[in-house]
């Protein structure tokens, strides 16, 4: 044995912390004792403090169950699409429900024409553009009165569609009376003159007011005199053909 070596180290004793005689290990505490202690704690806290504790705990629990959803986190595919209408300057703006209804009813008509009619910016000489056919339309009117009356009928329906509820029925009736007047004029006057009369009269209504039923029933004799040309009688046509 080496005499120069020091004494061997002694093991460090394990120190057990002192335990209060009133505390018991958790695994030895019964359920009844836990309930009794909780009840004693609740009684020692005033009602206001207890309410704040419960509200705070519930708020945190609800926040975990339902985290706030911001607009940026909403999937784009779940958002309803908004119909857009291209404007003349290249931009877009949402369509009104009235225009959307007309697009469904008349898919072949350019939606921009609906807006122009609604805002009273429609040009009378563009009446030929109102067609239920997808074929390109031309302002030739080679088939006579029907080439004018068919698109005009669409115009009157679209105009009445945009009219206010208190004037809608009366306006529709006045527009029908105006079309009947054109048919009567076509019996005694040339189609070209009837067409020119209509374009002039329509332009007047756009300036004065297209929503006035009485205006469409107006008999403008001066305008008729300046635009209408009488048809030649059959005898006159026969004489000229000889």
Residues 76, 81: Cα–Cα separation, whole Å:
9
Packing angle of the helix pair 145-162, 168-188 (nearest 10 deg): 170
Closest CA to 126 of 157, 100, 101, 148: 148
Question: Encoding tokens for residue 143?
Answer: 């088939």
Work out the mean pLDDT of the chain and round it to a whole number: 77
Cα gap 203→210, rounded to integer Å: 9
Report, in angstroms and rounded to the nearest whole number, the Rg of the chain calculated over CA atoms.
44
Q: Give the tens place of pLDDT for each residue, 46-87.
A: 666 666 766 665 555 444 544 444 444 434 433 334 445 444
Question: Rounded mean pLDDT of 183-205?
Answer: 97
Q: Give the closest residue to 209 by CA, choosing from 146, 163, 149, 155.
A: 163
Q: What is the pLDDT, as a whole number, of residue 20?
A: 47
Rounded to whole angstroms, the Cα distance separating 184 from 169 reads 23
**What is the distance between the alpha carbons of residues 215 and 208, in angstroms, rounded to a whole number?**
8
For 13-41, the pLDDT digits (tens) are 555 555 544 445 544 545 566 566 666 66
161: tokens are 């569609």
Among candidate residues 89, 94, 126, the one with its CA nearest the CA of residue 110: 126
Number of helices (H) and strands (E), helices first, in the chain?
10, 2
Q: What residue spans define the domains of the chain?
A: 94-241
């Amino acid at each position: 044995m080496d005499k120069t070596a020091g004494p061997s180290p002694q093991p460090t004793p394990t120190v057990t912390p002192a335990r209060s005689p009133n505390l018991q290990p958790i695994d030895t505490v019964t359920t009844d004792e836990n309930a009794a202690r909780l009840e004693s704690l609740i009684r020692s806290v005033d009602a206001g403090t207890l309410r704040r504790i419960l509200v705070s705990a519930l708020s945190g629990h609800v926040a975990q169950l339902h985290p706030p959803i911001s607009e940026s986190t909403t999937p784009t595919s779940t958002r309803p699409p908004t119909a857009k209408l291209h404007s003349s300057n290249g931009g877009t703006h949402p369509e009104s429900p009235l225009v959307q209804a007309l697009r469904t009813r008349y898919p072949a008509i350019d939606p921009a024409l609906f807006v122009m009619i609604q805002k009273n910016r429609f040009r009378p000489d563009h009446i030929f553009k109102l067609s239920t056919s997808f074929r390109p339309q031309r302002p030739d009117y080679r088939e006579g009165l029907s080439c004018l009356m068919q698109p005009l009928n669409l115009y009157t329906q679209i105009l009445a569609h945009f009219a206010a509820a208190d004037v809608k029925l009366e306006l529709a009736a006045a527009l029908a009376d105006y079309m009947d007047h054109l048919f009567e004029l076509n019996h005694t006057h040339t189609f070209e003159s009837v067409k020119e009369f209509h374009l002039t009269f329509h332009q007047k209504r756009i300036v004065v007011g297209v929503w006035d039923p009485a205006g469409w029933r107006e008999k403008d004799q001066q305008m008729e005199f300046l635009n209408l040309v009488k048809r030649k009688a059959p005898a006159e046509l026969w004489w000229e053909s000889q």
